[in-house]
Structure 1
């Protein structure tokens, strides 16, 4: 049996109408023909599929519980049969030769894992996805400030490294991440009274109900 001009290996005569063989290395489209003592068969086309190439993830992080959808871009993805996030493999939905989408499986723990795509042409990796735990809020200091805003506040909790937003009463506040357990923020202006403080990251949102109180200034 020939694949183009290259002989196949492990050719086995299964029946008068069937043979099996291992294809040699190659690329593109080649003609396959079977050679017997009685002659050579008519050629049939065989397509070599190249290994996939991944160029990026639409989302590079998400909750440890998984479930969010990620689109993987690249080339040679039309025959994708599996996408692995670390040790967990799921079946993707092929959108085109350049894109597949996949529901991220649950992760064993927070942290980065490698992402690999398996197609008929092989497996390619080289991308990274980071599992993130949902944040929690343990305390806010100080717990009150003027309605004009501008109070420097320290928020403590857990899983704060990937913080993407802090709000006071639904109003976004400027903030900076100090470390995994501390975020500093500056209160925006707000109406007098207690408001909820929320802190969000790609895995979810933590809410401390009524945690900060806007105090009205003295009247004249």
Structure 2
């Protein structure tokens, strides 16, 4: 793949430099917010004030987006020729690498005005990142070096630092080391930003490494465009960690959110892969975005901004959902249990339990609580998964399916006492048990008859569900206690029930 720039468009970012687009078939079609910007949007960075700055390579300008409202702020800001990379320094200045005019434009993000039109750098500057010491590091693709800019004075510091062939992306770790991706030599060069010298000339990895980002755990994540995977570098030892992580087709830019989720833009499959950097595994299904996604940035409010080259817009991915609990946490295998699921960023959620979709799903306005009805499921524990436009979260074995239980009803006949001297009539005590689910009488179950604290006896229900106890000795107790109680303790799937038999004295 040639790295020579074409008139008006960087060669590596040109639509003609990439195969024709294919759209991967997502499992779930999403409806993300899209924000129209300039032509061929490539880079994106978020300022401390929450505004996102998008470089439009073919419009030669920068679009500003208010990430609170997802609306464009003011008119585009003119910069140099074919702007690509952009980074914002702690002092609020945005540094834009212009690949055709071989310079960097400085924007004041407080006023959204250009304060330095041009800082000359190397040939074909593509990427830019700001180190903890305040210096900006600019990759010069066709010069095979990195220019350092003092962001306090907006002047170049020293001589360019030689790196690999075709440097493109750059990111700075908390330890101050800058990681430069070299798209032609297929490696990463490590620069010590304290001394502005090369610390590690080459860490070999996949073919055509583009984007690089640092996770909260300090590891660097590098997207290899032609290898369709992401390589992880331990920035403490500058060695590759584990096996590459497969992602979508032709990954380019990536960014890591504070929660440790890495978002990788896959330019050919037109989606974004999410990686959990604590486990270095892909989570959820890829998130469909616009055509030819390239760069990714994370806003302070948790939203993810993805530039789409061919649709000339920016896709907004909501913050990643989290789950904290489910109540009740068990129910019958037949389903039908109404549950409440709690968490954050749950707006627009779909819910599965044990892989089966729940019904009646509703989310509160704050996006912190879901009400849903469980589907039928297999006996035992089941994982609860919530999927939103921003990703998915699971409570592993969070819900347990149990054998269905049937509610029962017990009815007791009154205790009748006839007092006509010289004889006394003592009737039978009877109670009938019914299954409220089937509506049928329940035979063969034990019913306990009790008055006050005294157990009168037990009897077993017959085919009609009726238990009968001969009462000949304790009429006085029944009279004193105002009747008796019949109790079914429950058995198997049948739930317990009780009934009271009154005393009638004609």
TM-score by length of 2: 0.24
User: What SS does structure 2 have at the residue aligned with 1:156?
Assistant: strand
Give the Cα–Cα distance (whole angstroms) in 2 for the partners of residues 136 and 201 of structure 1. 10
Give the Cα–Cα distance (whole angstroms) in 1 for the partners of residues 319 and 368 of structure 2. 13
Give the Cα–Cα distance (whole angstroms) in 2 for the partners of residues 153 and 108 of structure 1. 33
1:61 counterpart residue number: 32
For structure 1, the residue ranges without an aligned partner over 5 or more in a row are 1-57, 63-69, 119-124
1:215 counterpart residue number: 402
Give the Cα–Cα distance (whole angstroms) in 2 for the partners of residues 106 and 203 of structure 1. 14
1:193 counterpart residue number: 380
Give the Cα–Cα distance (whole angstroms) in 2 for the partners of residues 203 and 173 of structure 1. 19
Give the Cα–Cα distance (whole angstroms) in 2 for the partners of residues 59 and 145 of structure 1. 31
CA deviation vs aligned residue, 1:132-171 (integer Å, no higher than 9, x gap) = 22111101011111111011100001111132x2111011
- Rg larger in 1 or in 2? 2
**Is 1:172 matched with 2:351?**
no
User: What SS does structure 2 have at the residue aligned with 1:105?
Assistant: strand
User: What SS does structure 2 have at the residue aligned with 1:191?
Assistant: coil
The verdict on how the C-alpha distance between 1:216 and 1:128 changes in structure 2, with shifts beyond 3 A counting, is: same
1:148 counterpart residue number: 334
The verdict on how the C-alpha distance between 1:136 and 1:73 changes in structure 2, with shifts beyond 3 A counting, is: closer
The verdict on how the C-alpha distance between 1:188 and 1:104 changes in structure 2, with shifts beyond 3 A counting, is: farther
Give the conservation status (yes or no) of the 8 Å contact 2:294–2:308: no
The verdict on how the C-alpha distance between 1:60 and 1:101 changes in structure 2, with shifts beyond 3 A counting, is: farther
> 1 or 2 for the larger relative contact order (CA 8 Å, sep ≥6)?
1
TM-score by length of 1: 0.50
**Is 1:161 matched with 2:315?**
no
Q: After the TM superposition, list the runs of 4 or more consecutive aligned residues in structure 1 that deviate by more than 6 angstroms.
A: 91-94, 112-118
Give the Cα–Cα distance (whole angstroms) in 2 for the partners of residues 219 and 114 of structure 1. 53
The verdict on how the C-alpha distance between 1:59 and 1:73 changes in structure 2, with shifts beyond 3 A counting, is: farther
Give the Cα–Cα distance (whole angstroms) in 1 for the partners of residues 386 and 395 of structure 2. 9
The verdict on how the C-alpha distance between 1:100 and 1:186 changes in structure 2, with shifts beyond 3 A counting, is: closer
Counterpart among 304, 319, 324 of residue 138 in structure 1: 324
The verdict on how the C-alpha distance between 1:171 and 1:130 changes in structure 2, with shifts beyond 3 A counting, is: same
User: What SS does structure 2 have at the residue aligned with 1:106?
Assistant: strand
For structure 2, the residue ranges without an aligned partner over 5 or more in a row are 1-28, 46-51, 56-83, 86-251, 253-266, 269-289, 405-491, 495-506
Structure with the bigger percentage of strand: 1
